[in-house]
Amino acid sequence: MVERDTSPVVEAGPLEGTAEGALQATWGSAPGFWGSIATVDHKVIARRYMITAFVFLALGGLLALAMRVQLARPEARFLDADRYNQIFTMHGSNMMFLFAVPVMEAMAIYFVPLMVGTRNIAFPRLNAFSYWVFLVGGLLLWGSFVVDAAPDVGWFAYVPLAGPEYGAGKRADIWAQMITFTELSALAIALEIVVTVFKQRAPGMSLDRIPVLVWAMLVMAFLVILAMPAIMFASSTLIMDRLVGTHFYNPAEGGDALLWQHVFWFFGHPEVYIIFLPAVGMVSTILPTFVGRPLFGYLPLVMALIATGILSFGLWVHHMFVVGLPRLGESFFTASSMAIAVPAGVQIFCWLATLWAGRPVFKTPLLFVIGFIVTFVIGGLTGVMVASVPFDAQVHDTYFVVAHFHYVLIGGAVFPLIGAVYYWFPKMTGRMMSERLGKWAFWLIFTGFHLTFFPMHILGLLGMPRRIYTYQPELPWAGLNLFVSVSAFILAAGFLVFFIDAIRSRTSGLPAGENPWNAPTLEWATPSPPPPYNFRSIPVVVGRDPLWSLPDELPVTSALRTDRRELLITSLVEASPEARESSPRDSVWPFWAALATSVLLIWSMFSPWAVVWGSIPVAITLIGWFWPKGVAEDES
């Protein structure tokens, strides 16, 4: 569709000042406190998300270390039962809801608009809103921990333990409401990503030219949209059972304890792919750059992403293999869980093929990708093991499962994530991270990880249940546990090196330039860090690897208006231009709306009337948010 007209090549020179200056003026955020509160720049908000999420990783990791100290010796007195139960619940909930999911969404918020060549994410104010909501959710959970009132029911809060009868105090409510906060922000982001990918792709970026990472984020967004309502329903009904005496989970009154498990895992299983799919998207993006060759099997990889997404809604019962469901039904879920190994395999094999065909350059990002393949395949295979009903009967709720999910979560998601940070850090900050510290971080994390988590498989088979705050000396677990605990500190040291490198490089890293890795995707076609308007001119895409197909020149569209925030709307399939749509300006209203929402949610842990009275300020802030201000963006 791109008509290669004969208009002369425009040198960057003449446009300078005029265009950039005007764009800067319209897209830039006001300086000062309120300016930073009001900003709707997807990059700024994504950066906030990332920093917050990594702080939560560090905190959650420190909790893990506390658990490891306690478990290092039999009958240790480092933590008492109550503390331990709070800590493993905090660790799990924090890592899943405050680190893993948000950090992946943050990467989406930052890179989807850049990779599809647009100027801001769709619904940027919603984006700002989502961050504030997420932040309050995190503060709520950690605040409760500080005052020794943190949830103590595990990250999936099974009833009746979390129900009105046995879950004393507000602990379970805090867990449930933290969920509501994070899911609210996740849903908001999912909506933005879907619309950004559908309607704001650069002209020429037809479906078959969308970068794999963007595909991964799109599938992730749909998983969020279809899975999160389940957890919203679960957490709300749990609070209702606890606050207004409904009986959803009370067997005595026609409710059912297993209903909770069904609803939770109907969300909970897709949740793990919400974390995992973005990670594989990162792998598929990093790999080509460091083997200097296009990805092998674009189509199969995209199909695998979609297939995984669809299948993931047919697996939830594999978390419930020992609750006594009908045997035949269980076996169906064994089959579906095994089936998901096929799309996973497809991806692994396509990556191996890409590596085979290419010329690997062993920079830190690639090291983490290789570490990912080695580790994730183990985690995936243990997944296949526990997918067998009888196998699971022995290892369910033991350290074998703990080993499985750390292999897939850390090996499968955190390794690619760290690789991605090393890869995109230059783009985000304009400075390179240190290769030397990077190698250190990799080897410490890689070896530390396997030394920490591999023995857990054996502990599980030796009969060590999970979620026990201590064990007796005569049980044959002490040696391995000590080993695991010591190794955990090696792993932590690795993360520490990574954190230090990142903090150092922000100020003292070597200047990066536009495209330090000679990478093919659009985000590298603009300065590092990108200006508030992302691209001086909207790029036109002529191939799957834009910057490789035309190395020295960037095809672009004629200029958009610079006196208002304007971006290009293109068609769903072909990405042919449809309109020049405006993009909202900065606004503090999302911030107030988030505060009002937070008040409503927290209040509603104590009184059902909060839902009625609390919604009035929410409505007011929303009106303030959407009421037109007669600015240029309003023209049409």
Partner 1 sequence: MKRAAVILSSALLQSGCGGVQSALNAQGPSAAALKALIIVIVAVCVVVWIAVMIVLVAALLRRRDARAVPDHVLHRPVMAAVAATVVVVAALTVVSFQATRRLAPDENAAVTIRVRAQQWWWQFDYEDADPARAFRTANEIHVPVGKTVRVTLESADVIHSFWVPSLAGKQDLIPGRHNVLTFRADRPGIYRGQCAEFCGLQHAHMAFLVIAEEPEAYDRWVQMQRAGAVEPENPEASAGKTVFMTRQCAACHTIRGTQATGTTGPDLTHVGGRRTIAAGLLENTRGSIAAWIADPQTLKPGNNMPLVPLPAEELRQVSAYMEGLK
Partner 2 sequence: MKERVVLDVSALPLHATGAASPTWWGTCAFMLIEGTGFALALAVYFYLMSLAPHWPIRAPAPDPWPGTFLALILLASVAPNVLVSRWARQGDMRRVRLGLVVMCLFGIAPLFFRAYEFPALRVRWDDNAYGSITWTILGLHTAHIVTDLVDTLVLTCLMFTRHGDNPRRFGDVEDNALYWNFVVVTWIPLYASLYWVPRL
Cβ-closest position to ligand HEA: 61
Question: In this chain, which of 5, 146, 324, 327 binds partner 2, going by CB under 8 A?
Answer: 5
Residue 50 touching partner 2 (CB under 8 A) = no
Residue 303 touching partner 1 (CB under 8 A) = no
Q: Angle, nearest 10°, between helix axes 415-429 and 257-291?
A: 60
Residue closer to ligand HEA (CB basis): 339 or 542: 339
Residue 10 touching partner 2 (CB under 8 A) = yes
Q: In 3D, which of 446, 296, 439, 279 has the Cα closest to residue 356?
A: 296
Q: How far is the CB of 125 from ligand HEA (least distance, A)?
A: 30
The one segment of 195-203, 308-316, 372-380, 570-578 that binds partner 1 by CB under 8 A: 372-380
Q: Going by C-beta distance under 8 Å and a sequence separation of 6 or more, which residues neighbour residue 597? A: 133, 184, 618
Q: How far is the CB of 310 from Cu ion (least distance, A)?
A: 15
Distance separating alpha carbons of residues 418 and 415, to the nearest angstrom = 5
Residue closer to partner 1 (CB basis): 35 or 463: 463
Residue closer to ligand HEA (CB basis): 458 or 556: 458
Query: Within 261-290, which residues bind Cu ion (CB under 5 A)?
Result: 269
The one segment of 152-160, 431-439, 556-564, 618-626 that binds partner 1 by CB under 8 A: 152-160
Distance separating alpha carbons of residues 592 and 588, to the nearest angstrom = 7
Site size with Cu ion, rule: CB under 5 A: 1
Q: Going by C-beta distance under 8 Å and a sequence separation of 6 or more, which residues neighbour residue 392? A: 318, 321, 322, 386
Site size with ligand HEA, rule: CB under 6 A: 56
Query: Within 81-120, which residues bind partner 1 (CB under 8 A)?
Result: 81-82, 85
Residue 341 touching ligand HEA (CB under 6 A) = yes
Residue type, 478: A
The one segment of 26-34, 375-383, 434-442, 487-495 that binds partner 1 by CB under 8 A: 375-383
What is the four-CA torsion angle of 295, 296, 298, 302, rounded to 10 degrees? -100
Handedness of CA 423, 424, 427, 428 (dihedral sign): negative
For residue 2, give both structure tokens. 């791109």
The one segment of 19-27, 126-134, 395-403, 561-569 that binds partner 1 by CB under 8 A: 395-403
Strand ranges inside 139-296, DSSP E: none
Residue type, 38: A
Query: Within 368-407, which residues bind ligand HEA (CB under 6 A)?
Result: 377, 380-381, 383-384, 386-387, 392, 396, 401-402, 404-406
Question: In this chain, which of 107, 112, 410, 433 binds ligand HEA, going by CB under 6 A?
Answer: 410
Residue 123 touching ligand HEA (CB under 6 A) = no
Residue closer to partner 1 (CB basis): 462 or 610: 462
Residue 150 touching ligand HEA (CB under 6 A) = no
DSSP letter string, 271-295: HHHHHHHHHHHHHHHHHHHHHTSPP
The CA–CA distances, whole Å, from 307 to 186, 278, 285, 337, 387 equal: 22, 14, 19, 12, 18
Q: In 3D, which of 405, 487, 401 has the Cα closest to residue 452?
A: 487
Residue 323 touching partner 1 (CB under 8 A) = yes
The one segment of 230-238, 386-394, 494-502, 622-630 that binds partner 1 by CB under 8 A: 386-394
Strand ranges inside 574-627, DSSP E: 577-582
Q: Going by C-beta distance under 8 Å and a sequence separation of 6 or more, which residues neighbour residue 612? A: none
Residue 68 touching Cu ion (CB under 5 A) = no
The continuous run of DSSP H or E covering 569 comes out as strand 566-570
Residue type, 635: E
By a kind-dependent CB cut-off of 5 to 8 A, residue 635 interacts, out of partner 1, partner 2, Cu ion, none, with partner 2
> ∠353-354-355 over CA atoms, to 5°?
90
The one segment of 139-147, 251-259, 574-582, 615-623 that binds partner 1 by CB under 8 A: 251-259
Could you say which DSSP state residue 431 is in? Answer: B
Question: In this chain, which of 38, 106, 240, 414 binds ligand HEA, going by CB under 6 A?
Answer: 414
By a kind-dependent CB cut-off of 5 to 8 A, residue 360 interacts, out of partner 1, ligand HEA, Cu ion, none, with partner 1
Q: How far is the CB of 337 from partner 1 (least distance, A)?
A: 9
Question: In this chain, which of 153, 304, 456, 540 binds partner 2, going by CB under 8 A?
Answer: 540
- At residue 148, φ and ψ (nearest 5 deg) are 60, 30
Distance separating alpha carbons of residues 141 and 170, to the nearest angstrom = 11
> ∠12-16-21 over CA atoms, to 5°?
140
In DSSP terms, 595 is beta-bridged to: none
The one segment of 106-114, 351-359, 484-492, 572-580 that binds partner 2 by CB under 8 A: 572-580
For residue 564, give both structure tokens. 């208002």
Q: How far is the CB of 619 from partner 2 (least distance, A)?
A: 6
The one segment of 165-173, 303-311, 388-396, 571-579 that binds partner 2 by CB under 8 A: 571-579
Distance separating alpha carbons of residues 307 and 309, to the nearest angstrom = 5
The CA–CA distances, whole Å, from 368 to 123, 287, 410, 447 equal: 34, 10, 11, 12
Residue 331 touching partner 1 (CB under 8 A) = yes
Residue 491 touching ligand HEA (CB under 6 A) = yes
For 503, counting Cβ atoms within 10 Å of its Cβ (0-12 exposed, 13-18 middle, 19+ buried), the class is: exposed
Q: How far is the CB of 97 from ligand HEA (least distance, A)?
A: 9
Q: How far is the CB of 217 from ligand HEA (least distance, A)?
A: 16
The one segment of 79-87, 350-358, 386-394, 570-578 that binds partner 2 by CB under 8 A: 570-578
Residue 370 touching partner 1 (CB under 8 A) = yes
Place of tokens 């067998």: 388
The one segment of 195-203, 387-395, 521-529, 589-597 that binds partner 1 by CB under 8 A: 387-395
Question: In this chain, which of 222, 391, 499, 548 binds ligand HEA, going by CB under 6 A?
Answer: 499
Distance separating alpha carbons of residues 223 and 171, to the nearest angstrom = 28
Distance separating alpha carbons of residues 384 and 72, to the nearest angstrom = 29
For residue 399, give both structure tokens. 């350290």
Binding site for ligand HEA (CB under 6 A): 57-58, 61-62, 64, 67-68, 88-89, 91-92, 95-96, 100, 154-155, 272, 275-276, 318-319, 337, 340-341, 344-345, 348, 377, 380-381, 383-384, 386-387, 392, 396, 401-402, 404-406, 408-410, 412-414, 452, 466-467, 488, 491-492, 495-496, 499
